[in-house]
Amino acid sequence: MALSIKILGPGCARCKSTFEVVKKAVEQTGVQADITKVEDLEGMMKYNILSTPAVVVNEQIKISGRVPTVEEIKKLLN
Amino acid sequence: MFDWLQHFADWLIYSVLKIDSPSKLGDALNFFVYDTIKIFILLMIVTLLMGTINSYFPIDKVRSFLTKRKWYGLDYFVASFFGTITPFCSCSSVPLFIGFVKGGIPLGITFAFLISSPLVDAVTVAIFWGMFGLKTTLIYVVSGIILSMIAGYTLGRMKLEPLLTDWVKQLLKNKQDLSEYQEETLSFIQRIPAIANEALSIVKGVSLYILIGVAIGGLMHGYIPTGFFEEYISKSNPLAVPLAVIVGVPLYSNTAGILPIMQVLVEKGIPLGTVIAFSMSVVALSIPEALLLKKIMTTKMLMIFLAVVTICIILSGYIFNFIL
Protein backbone atom coordinates (compact mmCIF):
# COMPACT_ATOMS: atom_id res chain seq x y z
CA MET A 1 0.00 0.00 0.00
CA ALA A 2 1.24 3.44 -0.84
CA LEU A 3 2.41 5.64 2.00
CA SER A 4 0.46 8.80 2.60
CA ILE A 5 2.69 11.82 3.08
CA LYS A 6 1.23 15.22 3.84
CA ILE A 7 3.10 18.49 3.91
CA LEU A 8 1.38 20.99 6.17
CA GLY A 9 2.03 24.67 5.64
CA PRO A 10 0.19 27.70 4.28
CA GLY A 11 2.39 28.10 1.21
CA CYS A 12 5.44 29.89 2.56
CA ALA A 13 8.91 29.51 1.11
CA ARG A 14 9.98 27.01 3.77
CA CYS A 15 6.88 24.91 3.13
CA LYS A 16 7.63 24.81 -0.58
CA SER A 17 11.19 23.69 -0.03
CA THR A 18 9.96 20.99 2.35
CA PHE A 19 7.68 19.71 -0.41
CA GLU A 20 10.60 19.61 -2.84
CA VAL A 21 12.77 17.76 -0.31
CA VAL A 22 10.10 15.12 0.29
CA LYS A 23 9.49 14.69 -3.43
CA LYS A 24 13.18 14.19 -4.03
CA ALA A 25 13.50 11.67 -1.19
CA VAL A 26 10.54 9.66 -2.48
CA GLU A 27 11.95 9.63 -6.00
CA GLN A 28 15.36 8.50 -4.79
CA THR A 29 14.04 5.66 -2.64
CA GLY A 30 11.41 4.57 -5.15
CA VAL A 31 8.84 4.13 -2.37
CA GLN A 32 5.19 4.20 -3.39
CA ALA A 33 3.79 7.34 -1.79
CA ASP A 34 1.00 9.87 -2.25
CA ILE A 35 2.36 13.30 -1.45
CA THR A 36 -0.24 15.95 -0.75
CA LYS A 37 0.08 19.56 0.32
CA VAL A 38 -2.29 20.72 3.03
CA GLU A 39 -2.47 24.46 2.71
CA ASP A 40 -5.77 25.35 4.34
CA LEU A 41 -5.50 26.19 8.01
CA GLU A 42 -8.54 24.22 9.12
CA GLY A 43 -7.18 21.05 7.54
CA MET A 44 -3.82 21.71 9.09
CA MET A 45 -5.12 22.23 12.59
CA LYS A 46 -6.60 18.74 12.69
CA TYR A 47 -3.05 17.78 13.50
CA ASN A 48 -1.48 18.77 16.75
CA ILE A 49 1.23 20.99 15.33
CA LEU A 50 2.67 24.24 16.65
CA SER A 51 4.77 25.33 13.76
CA THR A 52 5.00 24.80 10.05
CA PRO A 53 6.22 23.34 7.79
CA ALA A 54 5.28 19.89 9.08
CA VAL A 55 5.60 16.47 7.52
CA VAL A 56 2.93 13.89 8.33
CA VAL A 57 3.53 10.28 7.32
CA ASN A 58 0.53 7.93 7.57
CA GLU A 59 -1.22 10.44 9.82
CA GLN A 60 1.72 10.69 12.21
CA ILE A 61 3.58 13.96 12.66
CA LYS A 62 7.21 13.27 11.92
CA ILE A 63 8.69 16.74 11.54
CA SER A 64 7.44 20.17 12.44
CA GLY A 65 8.82 23.68 12.34
CA ARG A 66 11.76 23.13 10.05
CA VAL A 67 12.80 22.10 6.60
CA PRO A 68 14.12 18.54 6.77
CA THR A 69 17.01 17.16 4.72
CA VAL A 70 16.55 14.58 1.98
CA GLU A 71 18.50 12.03 4.03
CA GLU A 72 16.23 12.52 7.00
CA ILE A 73 13.12 11.89 4.94
CA LYS A 74 14.70 8.81 3.36
CA LYS A 75 15.24 7.41 6.84
CA LEU A 76 11.61 8.07 7.71
CA LEU A 77 10.46 6.24 4.62
CA ASN A 78 12.40 3.07 5.32
CA MET B 1 36.45 43.47 18.60
CA PHE B 2 36.48 44.37 14.93
CA ASP B 3 39.59 46.54 14.68
CA TRP B 4 41.32 43.93 12.56
CA LEU B 5 38.43 44.07 10.12
CA GLN B 6 38.69 47.84 9.80
CA HIS B 7 42.41 47.46 9.08
CA PHE B 8 41.58 44.86 6.47
CA ALA B 9 38.96 47.10 4.82
CA ASP B 10 41.38 50.07 4.83
CA TRP B 11 44.13 47.94 3.37
CA LEU B 12 41.88 46.47 0.68
CA ILE B 13 40.34 49.75 -0.45
CA TYR B 14 43.23 52.18 -0.09
CA SER B 15 46.28 49.98 -0.73
CA VAL B 16 45.14 47.14 -2.97
CA LEU B 17 42.49 48.94 -5.00
CA LYS B 18 44.41 52.23 -4.75
CA ILE B 19 41.36 54.41 -4.14
CA ASP B 20 42.06 57.86 -2.71
CA SER B 21 41.49 58.41 1.00
CA PRO B 22 39.46 60.34 1.87
CA SER B 23 37.13 60.18 -1.09
CA LYS B 24 33.42 59.58 -1.44
CA LEU B 25 33.92 56.37 -3.40
CA GLY B 26 36.55 55.13 -0.97
CA ASP B 27 34.29 55.84 2.02
CA ALA B 28 31.38 54.05 0.42
CA LEU B 29 33.42 50.97 -0.53
CA ASN B 30 35.15 50.83 2.82
CA PHE B 31 31.77 50.92 4.57
CA PHE B 32 30.49 48.15 2.30
CA VAL B 33 33.42 45.78 2.86
CA TYR B 34 33.67 46.37 6.60
CA ASP B 35 29.96 46.18 7.36
CA THR B 36 29.13 43.20 5.18
CA ILE B 37 31.86 41.03 6.67
CA LYS B 38 31.07 42.17 10.20
CA ILE B 39 27.36 41.46 9.83
CA PHE B 40 27.94 38.02 8.38
CA ILE B 41 30.28 37.06 11.23
CA LEU B 42 27.81 38.26 13.87
CA LEU B 43 24.94 36.63 12.03
CA MET B 44 26.66 33.24 12.15
CA ILE B 45 27.43 33.67 15.86
CA VAL B 46 23.91 34.72 16.85
CA THR B 47 22.05 32.18 14.70
CA LEU B 48 24.23 29.34 16.02
CA LEU B 49 23.75 30.51 19.60
CA MET B 50 19.99 30.93 19.33
CA GLY B 51 19.73 27.71 17.35
CA THR B 52 21.49 25.85 20.15
CA ILE B 53 19.18 27.23 22.85
CA ASN B 54 16.22 26.52 20.62
CA SER B 55 17.35 22.94 20.09
CA TYR B 56 17.09 22.38 23.85
CA PHE B 57 13.88 24.38 24.26
CA PRO B 58 11.79 23.71 21.16
CA ILE B 59 8.38 25.27 20.99
CA ASP B 60 6.55 22.10 22.09
CA LYS B 61 8.59 22.06 25.25
CA VAL B 62 7.83 25.73 25.90
CA ARG B 63 4.16 24.97 25.57
CA SER B 64 4.28 22.09 28.00
CA PHE B 65 6.32 24.33 30.31
CA LEU B 66 3.62 26.97 30.25
CA THR B 67 0.71 24.57 30.67
CA LYS B 68 2.06 22.25 33.33
CA ARG B 69 3.40 24.64 35.91
CA LYS B 70 1.95 27.56 37.75
CA TRP B 71 3.96 30.69 37.13
CA TYR B 72 1.98 33.28 39.09
CA GLY B 73 2.25 36.06 36.56
CA LEU B 74 5.76 35.14 35.50
CA ASP B 75 4.19 33.36 32.52
CA TYR B 76 4.19 36.59 30.57
CA PHE B 77 7.92 36.81 31.01
CA VAL B 78 8.48 33.12 30.20
CA ALA B 79 6.37 33.39 27.03
CA SER B 80 8.07 36.59 25.87
CA PHE B 81 11.52 35.29 26.67
CA PHE B 82 11.10 32.01 24.83
CA GLY B 83 9.43 33.92 22.01
CA THR B 84 12.71 35.69 21.40
CA ILE B 85 14.74 32.51 20.92
CA THR B 86 12.12 30.74 18.79
CA PRO B 87 12.69 31.38 15.12
CA PHE B 88 9.53 32.72 13.62
CA CYS B 89 7.93 32.54 10.25
CA SER B 90 4.66 34.39 9.87
CA CYS B 91 3.13 31.27 8.32
CA SER B 92 3.49 29.53 11.69
CA SER B 93 1.53 32.15 13.59
CA VAL B 94 -1.85 30.41 13.23
CA PRO B 95 -0.81 26.88 14.25
CA LEU B 96 1.11 28.40 17.12
CA PHE B 97 -1.79 30.49 18.32
CA ILE B 98 -4.28 27.64 18.17
CA GLY B 99 -1.83 25.14 19.62
CA PHE B 100 -1.14 27.37 22.62
CA VAL B 101 -4.76 28.25 23.34
CA LYS B 102 -5.85 24.63 22.87
CA GLY B 103 -3.24 23.60 25.40
CA GLY B 104 -4.95 25.87 27.94
CA ILE B 105 -2.52 28.78 27.78
CA PRO B 106 -4.42 32.06 28.33
CA LEU B 107 -4.92 34.33 25.35
CA GLY B 108 -2.78 37.14 26.77
CA ILE B 109 0.24 34.89 27.28
CA THR B 110 -0.19 33.46 23.79
CA PHE B 111 -0.18 37.01 22.45
CA ALA B 112 2.97 37.83 24.39
CA PHE B 113 4.72 34.93 22.64
CA LEU B 114 3.28 35.83 19.27
CA ILE B 115 4.56 39.40 19.54
CA SER B 116 8.01 38.72 20.92
CA SER B 117 8.84 35.91 18.49
CA PRO B 118 9.15 38.04 15.34
CA LEU B 119 10.18 41.17 17.26
CA VAL B 120 13.41 39.75 18.61
CA ASP B 121 14.88 37.25 16.18
CA ALA B 122 18.42 36.17 15.41
CA VAL B 123 18.76 38.24 12.26
CA THR B 124 17.59 41.47 13.87
CA VAL B 125 19.79 40.95 16.91
CA ALA B 126 22.88 40.22 14.82
CA ILE B 127 22.43 43.20 12.55
CA PHE B 128 21.59 45.53 15.42
CA TRP B 129 24.76 44.39 17.12
CA GLY B 130 26.80 44.98 13.98
CA MET B 131 25.29 48.37 13.21
CA PHE B 132 24.62 49.96 16.59
CA GLY B 133 26.81 48.09 19.06
CA LEU B 134 26.11 45.72 21.92
CA LYS B 135 24.54 48.24 24.32
CA THR B 136 21.85 49.34 21.89
CA THR B 137 21.20 45.71 21.00
CA LEU B 138 20.64 44.79 24.65
CA ILE B 139 18.27 47.72 25.00
CA TYR B 140 16.41 46.50 21.93
CA VAL B 141 16.14 42.92 23.22
CA VAL B 142 15.11 43.84 26.77
CA SER B 143 12.57 46.40 25.59
CA GLY B 144 11.25 43.91 23.03
CA ILE B 145 10.57 41.46 25.87
CA ILE B 146 8.97 44.13 28.07
CA LEU B 147 6.87 45.42 25.20
CA SER B 148 5.57 41.91 24.44
CA MET B 149 4.71 41.38 28.11
CA ILE B 150 2.81 44.65 28.35
CA ALA B 151 0.98 44.22 25.04
CA GLY B 152 0.16 40.58 25.90
CA TYR B 153 -1.10 41.51 29.35
CA THR B 154 -3.23 44.35 27.97
CA LEU B 155 -4.76 42.08 25.33
CA GLY B 156 -5.30 39.38 27.94
CA ARG B 157 -7.24 41.75 30.18
CA MET B 158 -9.56 42.66 27.31
CA LYS B 159 -11.14 39.18 27.29
CA LEU B 160 -11.13 38.82 23.54
CA GLU B 161 -12.07 35.11 23.41
CA PRO B 162 -15.60 35.77 22.03
CA LEU B 163 -14.02 37.61 19.09
CA LEU B 164 -12.23 34.55 17.72
CA THR B 165 -13.67 33.20 14.46
CA ASP B 166 -16.25 30.42 14.72
CA TRP B 167 -14.16 27.52 13.50
CA VAL B 168 -11.50 28.33 16.07
CA LYS B 169 -14.06 28.47 18.87
CA GLN B 170 -15.38 25.11 17.68
CA LEU B 171 -11.86 23.72 17.70
CA LEU B 172 -11.23 24.98 21.21
CA LYS B 173 -14.49 23.53 22.49
CA ASN B 174 -13.57 19.99 21.52
CA LYS B 175 -10.41 20.00 23.50
CA GLN B 176 -8.52 16.92 22.60
CA ASP B 177 -5.91 15.43 24.82
CA LEU B 178 -2.61 16.79 23.69
CA SER B 179 -0.12 14.06 23.16
CA GLU B 180 2.64 14.16 25.72
CA TYR B 181 5.66 16.04 24.56
CA GLN B 182 8.47 13.64 23.81
CA GLU B 183 11.83 15.16 24.42
CA GLU B 184 14.50 14.28 21.92
CA THR B 185 17.37 12.63 23.69
CA LEU B 186 20.27 13.72 21.57
CA SER B 187 23.75 14.60 22.68
CA PHE B 188 25.15 18.02 21.86
CA ILE B 189 27.30 16.53 19.10
CA GLN B 190 24.26 14.88 17.54
CA ARG B 191 22.41 18.18 17.56
CA ILE B 192 25.13 20.12 15.77
CA PRO B 193 24.26 19.20 12.15
CA ALA B 194 20.63 20.32 12.52
CA ILE B 195 21.62 23.52 14.35
CA ALA B 196 24.27 24.37 11.76
CA ASN B 197 21.92 23.61 8.87
CA GLU B 198 19.23 25.85 10.30
CA ALA B 199 21.71 28.65 10.98
CA LEU B 200 23.11 28.39 7.46
CA SER B 201 19.68 28.48 5.89
CA ILE B 202 18.78 31.59 7.89
CA VAL B 203 22.00 33.32 6.85
CA LYS B 204 21.53 32.25 3.24
CA GLY B 205 17.95 33.48 3.25
CA VAL B 206 18.86 37.01 4.28
CA SER B 207 22.25 37.41 2.62
CA LEU B 208 20.95 39.10 -0.53
CA TYR B 209 18.98 41.63 1.55
CA ILE B 210 22.04 42.40 3.61
CA LEU B 211 24.21 42.94 0.53
CA ILE B 212 21.66 45.28 -1.03
CA GLY B 213 20.99 47.07 2.26
CA VAL B 214 24.68 47.60 2.99
CA ALA B 215 25.32 48.69 -0.60
CA ILE B 216 22.63 51.37 -0.38
CA GLY B 217 23.87 52.27 3.11
CA GLY B 218 27.42 52.55 1.77
CA LEU B 219 26.39 54.91 -1.00
CA MET B 220 24.41 57.07 1.40
CA HIS B 221 27.27 56.98 3.85
CA GLY B 222 29.66 58.28 1.22
CA TYR B 223 27.43 60.77 -0.53
CA ILE B 224 24.92 62.25 1.93
CA PRO B 225 26.30 64.96 4.22
CA THR B 226 26.26 64.22 7.95
CA GLY B 227 23.32 65.80 9.76
CA PHE B 228 21.33 65.96 6.51
CA PHE B 229 18.10 64.68 8.06
CA GLU B 230 18.31 66.61 11.27
CA GLU B 231 16.18 69.41 9.86
CA TYR B 232 13.33 67.10 8.93
CA ILE B 233 13.26 64.37 11.53
CA SER B 234 14.54 65.50 14.87
CA LYS B 235 13.80 64.51 18.43
CA SER B 236 11.79 67.68 18.85
CA ASN B 237 9.34 66.67 16.14
CA PRO B 238 6.66 64.80 18.11
CA LEU B 239 5.13 63.25 15.01
CA ALA B 240 8.32 61.55 13.79
CA VAL B 241 7.90 58.39 15.90
CA PRO B 242 4.23 57.66 15.11
CA LEU B 243 4.82 58.42 11.43
CA ALA B 244 7.82 56.08 11.25
CA VAL B 245 5.85 53.32 13.00
CA ILE B 246 2.74 53.70 10.84
CA VAL B 247 4.87 53.52 7.70
CA GLY B 248 6.60 50.41 9.09
CA VAL B 249 3.55 48.38 10.17
CA PRO B 250 2.28 47.21 6.75
CA LEU B 251 5.79 46.62 5.39
CA TYR B 252 6.72 42.98 5.09
CA SER B 253 10.42 42.67 5.33
CA ASN B 254 13.07 41.23 7.47
CA THR B 255 15.31 43.76 9.13
CA ALA B 256 18.27 42.53 7.09
CA GLY B 257 17.94 45.02 4.29
CA ILE B 258 16.53 47.88 6.33
CA LEU B 259 18.89 48.16 9.28
CA PRO B 260 22.09 48.92 7.34
CA ILE B 261 20.24 51.83 5.75
CA MET B 262 18.90 52.85 9.15
CA GLN B 263 22.37 53.02 10.60
CA VAL B 264 23.33 55.57 8.00
CA LEU B 265 20.15 57.52 8.67
CA VAL B 266 21.11 57.68 12.35
CA GLU B 267 24.57 58.87 11.39
CA LYS B 268 22.98 61.56 9.22
CA GLY B 269 20.75 62.85 12.00
CA ILE B 270 17.66 60.68 12.57
CA PRO B 271 17.20 59.85 16.28
CA LEU B 272 18.04 56.26 17.25
CA GLY B 273 14.76 55.75 19.16
CA THR B 274 12.75 56.59 16.08
CA VAL B 275 14.78 54.07 14.11
CA ILE B 276 14.31 51.35 16.73
CA ALA B 277 10.56 51.95 16.75
CA PHE B 278 10.49 51.80 12.96
CA SER B 279 12.38 48.48 12.90
CA MET B 280 10.07 47.04 15.54
CA SER B 281 7.02 47.97 13.51
CA VAL B 282 8.48 46.40 10.38
CA VAL B 283 9.22 43.03 11.99
CA ALA B 284 6.38 42.75 14.48
CA LEU B 285 3.47 43.41 12.15
CA SER B 286 2.90 43.06 8.44
CA ILE B 287 0.07 42.74 5.95
CA PRO B 288 0.72 39.03 5.17
CA GLU B 289 0.68 38.20 8.87
CA ALA B 290 -2.51 40.20 9.39
CA LEU B 291 -4.14 38.27 6.54
CA LEU B 292 -3.24 34.97 8.20
CA LEU B 293 -4.44 36.12 11.62
CA LYS B 294 -7.68 37.23 9.97
CA LYS B 295 -8.55 33.55 9.64
CA ILE B 296 -8.60 33.08 13.40
CA MET B 297 -9.69 36.52 14.54
CA THR B 298 -12.69 38.60 13.61
CA THR B 299 -11.87 41.98 12.08
CA LYS B 300 -12.61 43.69 15.37
CA MET B 301 -10.17 41.50 17.29
CA LEU B 302 -7.51 41.92 14.63
CA MET B 303 -7.89 45.71 14.78
CA ILE B 304 -7.58 45.65 18.57
CA PHE B 305 -4.46 43.47 18.31
CA LEU B 306 -2.83 45.72 15.72
CA ALA B 307 -3.76 48.87 17.64
CA VAL B 308 -2.38 47.65 20.98
CA VAL B 309 0.91 46.54 19.46
CA THR B 310 1.27 49.72 17.39
CA ILE B 311 0.64 51.92 20.42
CA CYS B 312 3.16 49.98 22.49
CA ILE B 313 5.80 50.39 19.76
CA ILE B 314 5.13 54.13 19.43
CA LEU B 315 5.42 54.57 23.19
CA SER B 316 8.70 52.68 23.28
CA GLY B 317 10.01 54.88 20.47
CA TYR B 318 9.36 57.95 22.64
CA ILE B 319 10.98 56.28 25.64
CA PHE B 320 14.08 55.37 23.60
CA ASN B 321 14.45 58.90 22.32
CA PHE B 322 14.12 60.13 25.88
CA ILE B 323 16.73 57.80 27.43
CA LEU B 324 19.22 57.33 24.58
Q: Quick one: three-class SS letters along B97-127? A: HHHHHHCCCCHHHHHHHHHHHHHCCHHHHHH
CA B256/CA B208 separation, integer angstroms? 9
A66 to B194: CB separation less than 8 angstroms, yes or no: yes
pLDDT at B11 over 70: yes
> What residues have CB less than 8 Å from B253, skipping those under 6 apart?
B209, B282, B283, B286
Residue B318's H or E segment, with its range, is: helix B299-323
Q: Which residue among A50, A52, A69 places its CB closest to the CB of B91?
A: A52
- Chain B interface, best mutation among A50, A62, A69, A71, by max B CB count within 10 A: A50
Q: Residue A42 belongs to a domain with what CATH number? A: 3.40.30.10
How many angstroms separate the Cα of B115 from the Cα of each of B233, B278, B281? 28, 15, 11
- A59 interfaces chain B, CB cutoff of 8 Å: no
CA A56/CA A64 separation, integer angstroms? 9
Q: pLDDT exceeding 70 applies to what percent of chain B?
A: 93
Instruction: Check the CA dihedral B76-B127-B263-B8 and report its sign.
Output: positive
- Chain A interface, best mutation among B57, B90, B92, B297, by max A CB count within 10 A: B92
> What residues have CB less than 8 Å from B46, skipping those under 6 apart?
B122, B123, B125, B126, B129
pLDDT at B73 over 90: no
Lowest mean pLDDT among A46-50, B106-110, B170-174: B170-174
Lowest mean pLDDT among B7-11, B21-25, B172-176, B287-291: B172-176
Judge contact between B313 and B147, C-beta under 8 A: yes
ipTM: 0.80
Residue B297 β-bridge partners: B164
CA B292/CA B91 separation, integer angstroms? 7
Q: Which residue among B58, B179, B194 places its CB closest to the CB of A48?
A: B179
The whole-number average pLDDT for the span B75-99 is 85
DSSP secondary structure of A6-53: EEE-SS-HHHHHHHHHHHHHHHHHT--EEEEEE-SHHHHTTS--SSSS
The whole-number average pLDDT for the span B245-270 is 81
CA B28/CA B260 separation, integer angstroms? 13
Query: How many C-beta atoms lie closer than 10 Å to residue B230's C-beta?
Result: 13
Of the CA atoms within 13 Å of residue B17, those in its CB half-sphere come to: 16
Measured in angstroms, the CA of A11 and the nearest CA of chain B are apart by: 8
pLDDT at B302 over 90: yes
The parent domain of residue A16 ranges over 3-77
The whole-number average pLDDT for the span B14-42 is 85
How many angstroms separate the Cα of A13 from the Cα of each of A10, B86, B109? 9, 18, 28
Residue A4 β-bridge partners: A34
Q: Closest Cα to residue A50, out of B74, B221, B99?
A: B99
Higher pLDDT, B73 or B118: B118
pLDDT of residue B68: 80
What is the domain partition of chain B in residue ranges? Answer: 19-171+191-323
Q: Model-level pTM greater than 0.90?
A: no
pLDDT bucket at B235, cuts 50 / 70 / 90: low
pLDDT at B204 over 60: yes
CA B297/CA B292 separation, integer angstroms? 9
pLDDT bucket at B29, cuts 50 / 70 / 90: confident
Instruction: Check the CA dihedral A61-B55-B143-B88 and report its sign.
Output: negative
CA B212/CA B299 separation, integer angstroms? 36
Q: How many domains does chain A have?
A: 1
Catalytic residue status for A12: yes
Measured in angstroms, the CA of A1 and the nearest CA of chain B are apart by: 27
Choosing from A5, A15, A25, A55, the catalytic residue is A15
Catalytic residue status for A15: yes
